[in-house]
Amino acid sequence: MTENRADTVPERIRVAVIGAGSWGTALAHHLGCLGHEVRLWVYEPELLEILHRQRENTFFLPGVRLSPHISYWGDGNAAVQGADVLLMAVPSHVFRQILSGLQPPEPARLVVVSATKGIETDTLLTMEGVVREVWGPEYPYVVLSGPSFAAEVAAAQPTVVTVASRQREAAKFIQCRFFSPSFRIYTTYDVIGVELGGALKNVMALATGILEGLGLGANPRAALITRGLAEMSRLATRLGANPMTLAGLAGLGDLVLTCTSVQSRNYRVGRQLGAGQKLADILANMKMVAEGIKTTAATHSLAQKLGVEMPIVEQVYRILYEGQSPQQAVRSLMTRALKDEIDAMTTSW
């Protein structure tokens, strides 16, 4: 396969995008702007009607006039029929349910791409594991992740992400078809590292938001991002990831993005928690999903199962699910037994 440069036009394909939240809509718009035929499946009937009428996702991505190459579908099976790529952009807690409701096409015709960042709470599987359980191992699987806010992708601001697949040609296929001069894509074959990086950074975004809600400054945030990356790397490498993946776009890149911007839903939730609001009240006023809330519970369970020490995750879990105060969480982290930093990179906070 020849190198796909910024001055070339990608081969046109048909993409079924499942999920019309902000991220699914932004990716659909990006792909439509490349000239691909995009079928966007929409869960909400009211939103489906608005999209047909206005070509704007007023629920989740307002202010963006969407590409005319996008069509809008209320029937997921019809949208997937004849597609070259199935792009899943739904919350992790409904990923299995929605995928199970789709009729699998012939494996030879379809590449499955996940743009979902999370871990299934009951099974502790990443989305690759869910796809394998629901549809089997025959479908080429690719995960797309990295520092990428939906609104900035939709606005064609320069964005750089990673796609990972165990099948080399599948990763290259998506890299070449999804790339544009504003959307640069790297490939890797470390699926577990990319999936865990994308999921775990949301827990750390909750934590950094909590610090801001407490009125704390740049010193604690820098420390938390650094030690958070160490925790992410410990768990990922325990599951077979390449530690360099966590230092890349899907790890450090996405971690910095979500831990430093109010565009991050998880960061905003953390900030409200730090300011003393109750989680139930915060969720009652949210239209979109903050993946880090459920991912915290899944990560906490996974770390306990594997015997991996993750003190930041532990404290966020206690705040979310056991009613611990953010102030006590900070104190618990700061008064842990003193350690050597390099040893602590692989052992604990």
**E strand or H helix at 284, and its extent?**
helix 279-284
Angle, CA 286 vertex, CA 284 and CA 68 arms, to 5° = 145
Task: Please identify which residue in the block is written with the tokens 């768990």.
Answer: 235
Given a contact cutoff of 8 angstroms between Cβ atoms, the answer to whether 17 and 76 are in contact is: no
**Based on the number of CB atoms within 10 Å of its own CB, is 154 exposed (0-12), middle (13-18) or buried (19 or more)?**
buried
Residue 184 pairs in a beta bridge with 160
Given a contact cutoff of 8 angstroms between Cβ atoms, the answer to whether 130 and 100 are in contact is: no
The sheet carrying 70-73 orders its strands as 70-73, 37-41, 14-18, 85-88, 111-114, 141-145, 159-164, 183-188
Q: Tell how far CA 84 is from the center of its chain.
A: 22
**Residues acting as catalytic residues:** 201
DSSP single-letter state for residue 167: S
First-to-last CA distance in the chain? 45
Helix axes of 265-274 and 191-213: crossing angle, nearest 10 degrees? 30
In angstroms, rounded to a whole number, what is the distance separating the alpha carbons of residues 256 and 183?
19
